[in-house]
Chains A and B, each alone.
Chain A
Amino acid sequence: MDAFIIILTGSLVAVSCALLGSFLVLRKMAMIGDAISHSVLPGIVIAFLLVGSLQSVWMIIGAGLIGVLTTFLIEFFHQKGKLQTDASIGVTFTWLFALGVILVTYYAGNAHIDQDCILHGEIAYVPIDLMYDDAGNAIGPKAVIVLSVVLALILVFITVFYKELFITTFDPDFANAIGISSARWHYLLMGLVSLTTVASFESVGAILVVALLIAPASAAYLITRDLKWMLMLSSLFGIVSSFLGYWLSYLLDGSIAGAMVTISGAIFGICYLVTVLKK
């Protein structure tokens, strides 16, 4: 049962990341995903200090806002400050991340939040961290419930607004010209990326979540030439990574999240080989 819950959690994270990651990869914004996953740290810590729990709605909203702020700052320094995008990303997220590090270390005495937990996560604890209803009955593991809600939100967002996401990703100028604001969809997408990162960091950590955003999407990008297929394939790769990753970590007796990302890297390698051999 625990194995099932861990694999399920991993799959929920991986599929959420793969769907959003596909758009990040196509928008050439992979590094913005990286930036967001780090810069939400101060948001997580501040929300934790205010509310006192790691999985509150407020924390997800707060960190989500910080994620959008990060994207905004990156754009701002790039456009108004005439800084190259990569430099702008580098300055913004490291600075916010550093702020988070100071906050974490300052409150290091607190047992519930530390650097390790934020950077690396621990998916093995998911099955024992339960969510209770008002009567005190356990309804299920917290992470599974939160991540299911996040994934449902992403699925609805992508299905309902598929054509807006498609057009603003492919040709933002044309989208603007016909009255579809590319900036609005950019920030909505980044808001969802922040939200997913926050919801996922406890299970896989702020660093490995980047791999899940980029690797399955990149692998799918290599072997398909259709956006819908790319979304489905990257999700499938995410689930396979979660499943095989769990067994790899069982065999090696190592980090589950690490093993999942290793598998997703291996899938990318295989897809790359396939495209090379095809030529």
Chain B
Amino acid sequence: MIQQVENPALEIHDLTVSYDKKPVLWGVDLTIPNGALCGIIGPNGAGKSTLIKSIMDLIPLNSGYVKLFDQDLDEVRKKISYVPQRESVDWDFPASVLDIVMMGRYSKLGLFKRPRKADRDAALSALEMVGMDKYARRQIAQLSGGQQQRVFLARALTQNAEIYFLDEPFAGVDAATEKAIIQILKNLSSQGKTIVVVHHDLQSVETYFDWVILLNLRLVASGPTTDVFTPQLLEETYGGKLTLLSEVGELVKKGGFHAREKQ
């Protein structure tokens, strides 16, 4: 069940990526429509983060290509925003919340230019959107996990991008933060922005996303949530890893699936 679309925001063609000669993504071929709020779902080690990293050109591809708005990444970099995994940086770094959020403006500034008042204002209003404006002067070492994630989202918001890639934005955050983040993503989506999220929690998939990619080394499915998020396809994605998977499908239907995967 792989549904291709016309004029996609994101097109991945025959993508294969390997670490140390061992493939981690195999022949992934998909398109995502403009304005989709899309979840990438799959078990641990399925290559979800790798998929995002290869879209952002952070790791070398073995074959295939990625097009964003029918162009190469380098031509549309300013329209793209990336939120890495929260754990990928050192939060003891000597910097303030505002310093970090301002980074989102660096790509527009270019070499030799320093951030100006307009950049500061953009950073502050992004912080307001994520409910962190009171923390602008705070050192990042003092933030909780949820606050760190909000700061990362604020940094992405200052970029005013057309497409957003978020790597596990809901991992290890409090319920209030999760709610705030998904609300912001839904708002962006309603403004016609495309959003791609690596996601773990099967229970919330149906309420969060209108497009779902099921991934496990190879692409299992890509399409509208109602068509893709079915017990059969989930079983195919999680494979032998969950023999309880037939049960998972039932649970998802009943809305009683609480097993959040351990990090």
Contact = CB atoms under 8 A, between A and B. Distances in A.
Given A163-B114, A225-B139, A174 B94 contact: no
Interface string B77-107: 1001010100011100111100110011011
B84 A173 contact: yes
B150 to A, nearest CB: 16
30 contacts: A26-B90, A26-B94, A28-B90, A160-B112, A166-B95, A166-B103, A167-B103, A169-B93, A170-B89, A170-B93, A170-B100, A171-B88, A171-B89, A173-B56, A173-B88, A174-B84, A176-B57, A176-B58, A177-B56, A177-B77, A177-B82, A177-B84, A178-B107, A178-B159, A179-B77, A180-B106, A226-B95, A226-B96, A227-B94, A230-B94
A26 B93 contact: yes
Interface string A191-226: 000000000000000000000000000000100111
Contact of B82 (A163, A174, A224): A174
Contacts of A160: 112
A238 to B, nearest CB: 18
Given A26-B93, A178-B77, A178-B159, A166 B99 contact: yes
B118 interface: no
Q: Which 3 pairs between the two chains have the least Cβ-Cβ distance?
A: A178-B107, A177-B82, A225-B139
B6 interface: no
A174 B158 CA distance: 14
A82 B106 CA distance: 33
Interface of A is mostly: helix
A2 interface: no
A4 interface: no
B106 A178 contact: yes
Interface in B157-203: 159
A183 to B, nearest CB: 12
A167 B20 CA distance: 28
A36 to B, nearest CB: 22
Question: Chain A contact residues (Cβ within 8 angstroms of B): what range?
Answer: 20 to 34
Interface string B1-26: 00000000000000000001000000
B111 interface: yes
Given A170-B89, A174-B84, A221 B94 contact: yes
B159 A164 contact: no
B251 interface: no
Contacts of B239: none
Nearest to A171: B89
Interface size grouping (class) on chain B: 20 to 34
Contacts of A163: 106, 109, 114-115
Interface in A126-185: 160-164, 166-167, 169-171, 173-180
Nearest to B77: A179
A172 B58 CA distance: 10
Contacts of B58: 173, 176-177
B244 interface: no
A95 interface: no
Contact of A171 (B57, B77, B84): B84
B261 to A, nearest CB: 23
Given A167-B106, A226-B96, A177 B80 contact: yes
B102 to A, nearest CB: 8
B139 A176 contact: no
Nearest to B140: A225
Interface string B128-165: 00000000000101000000000000010001000000
B139 to A, nearest CB: 4
Given A176-B57, A179-B77, 11 more contacts: A28-B90, A167-B106, A170-B100, A171-B103, A174-B84, A174-B155, A177-B58, A225-B94, A225-B141, A226-B94, A229-B94
A276 B90 CA distance: 21
Contacts of B84: 171, 173-174, 177
Contacts of B115: 163
Contacts of A179: 74, 77, 107
Interface in A20-77: 26, 28
Contacts of B53: 173
A179 B103 CA distance: 12
A225 to B, nearest CB: 4
A164 B111 contact: yes
Considering residues B57, B77, B99, which has the most beta carbons from chain A within 10 angstroms of its beta carbon? B99
A227 B103 CA distance: 14
Nearest to B112: A160
A163 B104 CA distance: 11
A179 B79 CA distance: 12
A255 to B, nearest CB: 33
Contacts of A170: 89-90, 93, 95, 100, 103
Nearest to B53: A173
Contacts of A161: 111
A205 to B, nearest CB: 30
